[in-house]
Amino acid sequence: MMDSKEILAMMEVLSQQRGINKESVALALEAAIAAAVSRQMNIPTSGEEGAIQVKINRTSGTFTIYRLTPKDPEAVEDIYQIPELPEEDVTSEELPALVFDRVAIQAAKQLIMQKVREAERQQLADDYKSQLGKMVFGTVKRFTRSKDAIILLTDRVEAILPYDDLLGQDNYEIGDEISAVLVNIDVANSTNQLFLSRTSDDMVRELFAQEVPEISQQIVEICAISRLPGIRSKVAIRPKDHRIDAMSSCIGLQGKRVQAVQKELGGEKIDILEWDDNPEQLVKNVLANPNVNSVNLNPDSHTINVAVPQEHIGEILGRNGQNIRLATLLIGWEINVMEEGDAKENQIQAMDDLRSSFVEILDADEDLVQDLLKGGFDSVKQLGYAPIEKFLRIDGFDEDLANEIRNRAREHLLSSALNTDGNAEEVGGVVGLMSLKGMTEELATKLSSQEISSVSDLAEYSVDELEEIIPDLDKNLSAEIILEARKSQPIS
């Protein structure tokens, strides 16, 4: 078929021409030769007849052919499983070299090129994996019929920037330099593997990291971004060192830093605001309007009611509702903007509804419920999981009464969740997570917002993985709640 010198030469040439390492080329050659031998010996795909394995000596170029046969044929479904079996479960027989005809040699060479292309795609994916979500730079090489841009990143590497991921004001021509964010790597795609975007939120994040040293040095943190690409973005920031003026750092002297970001985005407006962990304060920061008279949160429905004078509602909503849409996207709560009179009526009705639900759920009298409302309890979740100390601040409350209220609230929450989900082990959101020892409502809310929405979800995480999602989480607490989650799982 091929002698050792030809194999060494092919490994060298393919490695240099294709930009992949020699080991990947050698593995491709082994697979191709094995396939050719299997075809020549007419070995079927069932595991009973065995599988062919080829080993190439990386130094001399010589290769040896083996026939692998499973000791238990019923243990495998096809020949491709056999090389993966433990050595003690396989019988290995060295075969003599075969003489291939011209057709077999041509088929083997085609298969070699196919395997090399697969290795090339995998090599490209490995090379760019660390750049996912990061800014890349290239040159516009050409446009497809569907107006997608093909971007040349290096002499050998191309990426595709789909038309839908270009900004409306982008007007690039062939040869123009361009920056975009790498958003996806598709190894299975034989035509385009690297996918770019200029509409991704990460585009804004990366541009600020490029223009603002305090962000790239992680002195200032971008906490959240909401974006209507090409139109307007809101960027919520906070300093990690409170001696730093984060707003001034991001805006720059005479606004030069934020203007540089806007210019790269074709004039897209950028609103920079201070992040706050309190949703009520955060919504005030996001809307940035002095005419916001009151903000009322409903944690159970995850909604925020904002009261403003009738004449200023348009300012809060923004042009075509842009401002309120961006605010909703950034905070993750539904924001209802209403006139002051309507807001007051709504608030009175909401308080009446809350009072009635407390009376029904707790099976308590009006006076006790009124004391709870005055004590700052505004949701059933809060009744179920607030610390005992909050109850004890109310006149006439002791630990026994507090525990009784908490237990009744928790029973209601669990019952409601089960009626919805039908599975006690998969009760979702804050309710299910709060059943764990050491869990706080704040932490449960953070976990739930990161799609860790049940005890079984949490049990699958390690301490390091949880730290990546919630960087400020105490490691000891992280280890404790993960252990409690795993303890609660059924033994399989």
Summarised one tens digit per residue, pLDDT across range 206-215 is 999 999 999 9
Whether the pLDDT of residue 7 is over 60: the answer is yes
Q: What's the CATH number for 276-349?
A: 3.30.300.20
What pLDDT is attached to residue 467?
Answer: 80
DSSP letter assigned to residue 83: G
What pLDDT is attached to residue 24?
Answer: 82
Number of Cβ atoms within 10 Å of the Cβ of 109 = 15
Mean pLDDT of 294-302: 77
pTM of the model: 0.62
Ranges for all domains in the chain classified under CATH 1.10.150.20: 350-487
Mean pLDDT of 249-264: 94
Ranges for all domains in the chain classified under CATH 2.40.50.140: 132-199
What pLDDT is attached to residue 274?
Answer: 93
Alpha carbons 355 and 401: distance in angstroms, whole number: 18
Q: Which tokens belong to 64?
A: 């040896």
Alpha carbons 170 and 143: distance in angstroms, whole number: 14
Q: Residue 160: beta bridge partners?
A: 150, 195
Mean pLDDT of 15-38: 81
Mean pLDDT of 253-269: 94
C-alpha dist (Å) from residue 444 to 84, 415, 447, 454, 482 = 42, 19, 5, 10, 12
C-alpha dist (Å) from residue 373 to 302, 370, 403, 416 = 19, 5, 17, 22
Confidence of residue 425 (pLDDT cuts 50, 70, 90): very low
Confidence of residue 173 (pLDDT cuts 50, 70, 90): very high
* Contact present, 305 and 341 (Cβ < 8 Å): no
Architecture of the CATH domain 350-487: Orthogonal Bundle (1.10)
What pLDDT is attached to residue 420?
Answer: 52
Q: Which tokens belong to 380?
A: 């059933």
Specify the 3-state DSSP secondary structure of 93. Answer: strand
What pLDDT is attached to residue 424?
Answer: 40
Helix (H) and strand (E) counts for the chain?
20, 14
Q: What's the CATH number for 4-126?
A: 3.30.1480.10
Alpha carbons 188 and 196: distance in angstroms, whole number: 17
What pLDDT is attached to residue 343?
Answer: 55
Alpha carbons 77 and 476: distance in angstroms, whole number: 46
Q: Which tokens belong to 213?
A: 């040293």
Whether the pLDDT of residue 237 is over 90: the answer is yes
Whether the pLDDT of residue 372 is over 90: the answer is no
Whether the pLDDT of residue 428 is over 80: the answer is no
Whether the pLDDT of residue 361 is over 80: the answer is yes
Contacts of 203 (CB under 8 A, 6+ apart): 135, 180, 181, 197, 265
Round the average pLDDT of the chain to a whole number and report it.
82
Please give the order of strands across the beta sheet that includes 51-56.
51-56, 63-70, 90-95
Specify the 3-state DSSP secondary structure of 428. Answer: coil
pLDDT > 70 fraction of the chain, expressed in percent and rounded: 88
Ranges for all domains in the chain classified under CATH 3.30.300.20: 276-349
Specify the 3-state DSSP secondary structure of 318. Answer: coil
Higher pLDDT, 120 or 198: 198
Number of Cβ atoms within 10 Å of the Cβ of 297 = 17
* Residue 314, phi-psi category: left (phi > 0), alpha (psi -120 to 50), beta (remainder): alpha
The verdict on domain 132-199 having CATH code 3.40.50.720 is no
What pLDDT is attached to residue 222?
Answer: 95
Q: What angle do CA 16, 161, 170 make, to 5 degrees?
A: 135
Which helix (H) or strand (E) segment holds residue 270: the answer is strand 269-274
| Residue 168 identity (one-letter amino acid) | G
Which of 68-77, 413-422, 429-438 has the highest mean predicted lDDT (pLDDT)? 68-77
Alpha carbons 101 and 429: distance in angstroms, whole number: 65
Higher pLDDT, 22 or 256: 256
Higher pLDDT, 244 or 464: 244
